[in-house]
Every structure is written in C-alpha cells, then in structure tokens.
Amino acid sequence: MTISGKSMREHLEAINHKEAILFVDDLVSQKVDLSEYVLKQIHGIVLYGIDRENAGVYRKLPVAIAGSKHLPPQPYLLQDLMDGYFQFYNQSKDHLHPVVLAAEMHERLVTIHPFIDGNGRTSRLIMNLILLQYGFPLAIIGGDYDSRMAYYDALEKVQTENNN
C-alpha cells in the first residue's frame, strides 16, 4: 500500500529519502569524508527501486531541466567535471567556512547535473552531509510553493548569470 493519492514512485522517493538521510547520519557518525564513492552510494539510495540501471551511475545521455534556461554539460564532460568537483572539495574543506562549503558543493553538483534523475535530492543530501560533519543542523528547504520557487529561482540565477 502507498500513501493515499500518491504514485508508487512518489512513495519510493519518500522512503528512499528517509533511508538516504539515515545513511548520511551514519556517515557523519563514522567520520566518513565526501568522495565519489560516497556520492554514488547516496545517489544509489535515492533511486533505489525506482531506476536501478541509473542508480549511482553518471548519466550517459544529454539532459535538459524542465523550466530552466541552464543546460547541463554533455555526458562526455561529466567525469572531468566530477573530478574537478572533488578536487575543489578537497582543496576547500579546510579553508572555507562549512556553510559556504556546503552551499558551494550543493550548487556545483546540481549545476553539473551528473545523474539522469535525483540530482536535486542528492545535492541537498551532500550539502547536509557537510553541514552535519561540522556540527551544523540540517538545512531544509520548505515544501511550500513559495519556498520551492525561491530555491529554484536562486539556483537558476547562479547557473545562468554566474551570480555566486
């Protein structure tokens, strides 16, 4: 049985998100640092039972984001971009304020858009992993329409205007 009025996919997304948050909490308690392996594990949980073929795997197809002017990079660029993503993290983690680092890693990941689906959820989980590692509480974006639109608008502005 699923939650009334929700599709099986929506039901699995909610369950998977809960499991991913618990996984992130375990990573924090075990002092596991962010890595490509950790990122792919988190994404694998996000898409578990929804899209097994693409769970934890960088996309092999070009994508467009509905309603966005930002066009994510082509798939053949992803590995180099992700290598740069982790290089930035490793060079910055001891120098940037943790809140700035978490925000940077979130924005950079969602802009690269390395996965076919689940990029937003995964990037917010990475942001919260970093925040929790430094003793900050979870950052939660309100589920109401205005909060979501403000979040999407801010991302769009950074992605299209390079307005960091």
Which residues belong to the active site?
Answer: 113
Tokens linked to 127 = 């942001």
State the burial class of residue 135 (Cβ atoms within 10 Å of its Cβ: 0-12, 13-18, 19+).
exposed
d(CA 87, CA 92): 8
Residue type, 159: Q
Beta-carbon count within 10 A of 102 CB: 23
Beta-carbon count within 10 A of 64 CB: 11
Contact 109, 155 (CB under 8 A): no
